[in-house]
C-alpha cells in the first residue's frame, strides 16, 4: 500500500476503533501529510494544534474536538513548541453499519460543544480504566460521539464544495511516497500523471499547503532521519539512500525541513 495512505490494522474486528495519544512539534507533525478512508476525531490536550489540509488551516485549543472527514489529505502541527491530542479513528465499516453520515466532501471542523467534549472525555476514561466490558461501552460512546459530531457539522452548514481534495493530488502524493528516493523531478511527476505543470503545482499547494518540491524534500529528510537514527548508515549514506546526492544541499534542506542538523538524528 502507498505509505502516505495511513492504513489502520484493527487487531480485533469486533473492536473497530483505533485510540491513542500523540504529540507533535512546531516543525514536524507526527506523520507526513496523509489521508485515510476513516473518520478521525481529535481531542486536544495541550498546546495549540494546527490541523492543515485542502488549503485550510484550523486552530484548536485544549478541550476542543476536531472532526476530520474521510479521504481528506491532512497533517497536524503545533502552533508553538508542541501540542498533544488524543485520536480516535472509527473504522469505515463500523460507521457504514450504523448509517453514520460522514459528509465526505468536507475537510474538518473544530467543535467546542460541551456534550461532544464530555462524550470524548468519557471515551478516554473508559479506554484508560479498561473495566469489564469496556470495549462494548467504548463502541457505544464512539457511536454517540459520531452522531453528535455529524449533527454539529450539519448545523454548521459546511457544503465542502471548495475543500474536497483532488484525486490528482492524492495520486501525486502516492507517487512521491513510492519514488522519493529516485532522481525525481516535478516534470517527471507531471508526465506520469498527465497534467500540466502549472495546474498540478497549483492544485498540490492548495491541497497540502506545500509545494511539490517541499513535500518531496520533506519525505526524503524524514527517511534520512530514520536511517541515521537506526545506526545502520552514516549521514552521507542515509542522504544518498533518501534521494540526495549533494551533501551541502542535503544539510541545508534537512535543517530547513527538520529544524535540526542531520547529526542530531543519532540516538533518537
Stated pTM of the model: 0.60
What are the boundaries of each domain within the chain? 17-155, 167-265
pLDDT in tens, 74-133: 888 888 888 999 999 998 888 888 888 765 445 678 898 999 999 999 999 999 999 999
Neighbour count for residue 204 (Cβ, 10 Å): 25
Fold held by 167-265: Arc Repressor Mutant, subunit A (1.10.10)
User: Which of 1-5, 10-14, 196-200, 235-239 has the highest average model confidence (pLDDT)?
Assistant: 235-239
Give pairs for 137-143: CB < 8 Å, separation 24+: 138/15, 138/17, 138/19, 139/15, 139/17, 139/94, 142/17, 142/88, 142/90, 143/98, 143/100
Q: What confidence category does residue 227 fall into, taking pLDDT thresholds of 50, 70 and 90?
A: very high
- Please give the average per-residue pLDDT across 144-155, as a whole number: 87
- Please give the average per-residue pLDDT across 145-156, as a whole number: 84
With CA atoms as reference, report the closest residue to 59 among 22, 40, 36, 85. 85
The CATH superfamily of 17-155 is Regulatory protein AraC (2.60.120.280)
> What whole-number percentage of the chain has pLDDT above 90?
41
Give the bridge partners for 44, in sequence order.
85
| 210 against 65, higher pLDDT | 65
> Residue 186 to residues 71, 72, 116, 160, 169: CA-CA distances in angstroms?
24, 23, 43, 29, 13
> What whole-number percentage of the chain has pLDDT above 70?
85
Q: Is the pLDDT of residue 163 over 90?
A: no
What is residue 89's predicted lDDT score, i.e. its pLDDT?
92
With CA atoms as reference, report the closest residue to 166 among 144, 186, 141, 193. 193
Q: Is the pLDDT of residue 223 over 70?
A: yes
- Please give the average per-residue pLDDT across 17-43, as a whole number: 79
Handedness of CA 165, 168, 174, 180 (dihedral sign): negative
Q: Is the pLDDT of residue 183 over 60?
A: yes
Amino acid at each position: 500500500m502507498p505509505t502516505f495512505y495511513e492504513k489502520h490494522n484493527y487487531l480485533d474486528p469486533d473492536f473497530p476503533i483505533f485510540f491513542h495519544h500523540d504529540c507533535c512539534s512546531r516543525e514536524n507533525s507526527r506523520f507526513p501529510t496523509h489521508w485515510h478512508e476513516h473518520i478521525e476525531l481529535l481531542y486536544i490536550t495541550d498546546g495549540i494544534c494546527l490541523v492543515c489540509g485542502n488549503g485550510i488551516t484550523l486552530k484548536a485549543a485544549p478541550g476542543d474536538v476536531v472532526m476530520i472527514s474521510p479521504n481528506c489529505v491532512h497533517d497536524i502541527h503545533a502552533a508553538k513548541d508542541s501540542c498533544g491530542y488524543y485520536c480516535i479513528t472509527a473504522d469505515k465499516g463500523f460507521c457504514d453499519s450504523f448509517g453514520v453520515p460522514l459528509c465526505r466532501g468536507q475537510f474538518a471542523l473544530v467543535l467546542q460543544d460541551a456534550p461532544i467534549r464530555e462524550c470524548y472525555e468519557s471515551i478516554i476514561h473508559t479506554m484508560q480504566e479498561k473495566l469489564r466490558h469496556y470495549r462494548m461501552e467504548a463502541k457505544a460512546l464512539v457511536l454517540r460521539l459520531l452522531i453528535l459530531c455529524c449533527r454539529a457539522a450539519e448545523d454548521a452548514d459546511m457544503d465542502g464544495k471548495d475543500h474536497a481534495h483532488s484525486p490528482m493530488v492524492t495520486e501525486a502524493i502516492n507517487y512521491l511516497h513510492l519514488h522519493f528516493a529516485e532522481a525525481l523531478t516535478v516534470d517527471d511527476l507531471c508526465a506520469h500523471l498527465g497534467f500540466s505543470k502549472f495546474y498540478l503545482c497549483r492544485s498540490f499547494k492548495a491541497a497540502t499547503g506545500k509545494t511539490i518540491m517541499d513535500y518531496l524534500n520533506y519525505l526524503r529528510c524524514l527517511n534520512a532521519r530514520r536511517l541515521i537514527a537506526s545506526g545502520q548508515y552514516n549521514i552521507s549514506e542515509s542522504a544518498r539512500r533518501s534521494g540526495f546526492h549533494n551533501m551541502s544541499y542535503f544539510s541545508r534542506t534537512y535543517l530547513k525541513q527538520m529544524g535540526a542538523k542531520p547529526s542530531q538524528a543519532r540516538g533518537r
